[in-house]
């Protein structure tokens, strides 16, 4: 006697299938849970601090669900509670310090600081990480206020001077893959979103070792950047100078700052190659 109906899987095969589906479902739940934890961390970072009700509203989850994630993060030491508000813990300093060790920031910090003092503008060292640039170092002259990005923030490769300085030195296949994955998002009405126009601009970067951002990422902010290249001419990162449109435009943007930025990038490049 058999319990298997005609055309159906044998019972011996059913349980492994059910077990496999259960494992897949459990994995998806774990992945979703991890993603939610990071959404909460990033939301607290953006807000400075937040309570459970505020987080629930901003991440689109119930207060009970957010509470469970927050308590887990607190137990792990990544969040701290002060009254009814939660803050990122200083444990993130350890992670950030370790992440920075793989970058040539000892050299970059000295050069970028000198560049900020000379130009009187915010200066940055931008490193490439996967499909994006990251503001790994920022130096802002004393008393200077700007809309410059915080350290750790993203510098879109197609929409920032520092990003284009990196993007230009990737091989064409790699650029194609990045654009296919990320697209050419418009951050302002001046962002380059046409591939042919972008390719033409990247060729200019390769020809001159200089890239410009003319309010393409942030309205009212313009930048000039130059790449820092390894000995095989792959991009390690870039150096950029940022300023508001009132003081970083015309001759100041196109000529006066360019030589200083290129010189700074080459200085870092030379020291990195000889260490």
Residue 94, pLDDT score: 82
In a domain, 11, yes or no: no
Residue 122, pLDDT score: 92
Residue 147, pLDDT score: 46
Q: Are residues 48 and 27 in the same domain?
A: yes
The closest of 40, 109, 47, 102 to 68, measured between CA atoms, is 40
Residue 98, pLDDT score: 77
In a domain, 1, yes or no: no
* Burial of 184 per CB tally in 10 Å (0-12, 13-18, 19+): middle
Average pLDDT across each block of 10 residues of the chain; the chain has 275 residues. List them in order.
Answer: 49 54 59 84 88 89 90 90 90 80 80 92 91 89 60 90 96 93 94 96 96 95 94 92 86 84 94 81
- What CATH number is associated with residue 228? 3.30.450.40
Q: Are residues 69 and 158 in the same domain?
A: no
Q: Are residues 188 and 72 in the same domain?
A: no
Residue 226, pLDDT score: 97
- What CATH number is associated with residue 50? 1.10.10.10
Q: Are residues 156 and 66 in the same domain?
A: no
Q: Are residues 39 and 168 in the same domain?
A: no
CA distance 237 to 104: 9
Q: Are residues 159 and 229 in the same domain?
A: yes
Global pTM reads 0.71
> Could you tell me the residue range of the domain that residue 74 belongs to?
21-96
């Amino acid at each position: 006697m058999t319990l298997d109906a005609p055309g159906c899987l044998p019972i011996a095969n059913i349980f492994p299938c059910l077990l496999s589906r259960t494992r897949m479902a459990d994995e998806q739940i774990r992945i979703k849970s991890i993603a939610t934890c990071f959404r909460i961390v990033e939301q607290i970072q953006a807000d400075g601090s937040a309570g459970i009700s505020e987080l629930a509203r901003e991440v689109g989850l119930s207060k009970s669900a957010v509470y469970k994630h927050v308590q887990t993060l607190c137990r792990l030491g990544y969040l701290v509670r002060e009254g009814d508000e939660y803050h990122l813990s200083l444990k993130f300093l350890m992670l950030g310090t370790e992440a920075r060790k793989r970058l040539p920031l000892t050299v970059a910090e000295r050069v970028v600081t000198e560049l900020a003092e000379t130009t009187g503008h915010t200066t940055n060292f931008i490193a490439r990480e996967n499909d994006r640039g990251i503001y790994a170092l920022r130096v802002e002259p004393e008393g200077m206020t700007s809309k410059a990005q915080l350290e750790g923030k993203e510098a879109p490769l197609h929409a920032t001077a520092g990003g284009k300085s990196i993007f230009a030195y990737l091989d064409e296949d790699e650029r194609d893959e990045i654009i296919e994955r990320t697209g050419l998002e418009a951050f302002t009405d001046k962002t380059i979103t046409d591939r042919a126009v972008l390719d033409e601009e990247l060729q200019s970067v390769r020809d001159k070792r200089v890239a410009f951002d003319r309010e393409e990422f942030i309205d009212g902010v313009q930048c000039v950047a130059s790449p820092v290249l390894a000995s095989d001419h792959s991009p390690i990162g870039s150096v950029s100078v940022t300023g508001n449109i009132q003081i970083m435009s015309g001759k100041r943007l196109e000529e006066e700052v360019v030589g200083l930025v290129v010189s700074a990038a080459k200085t870092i490049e030379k020291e990195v190659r000889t260490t």
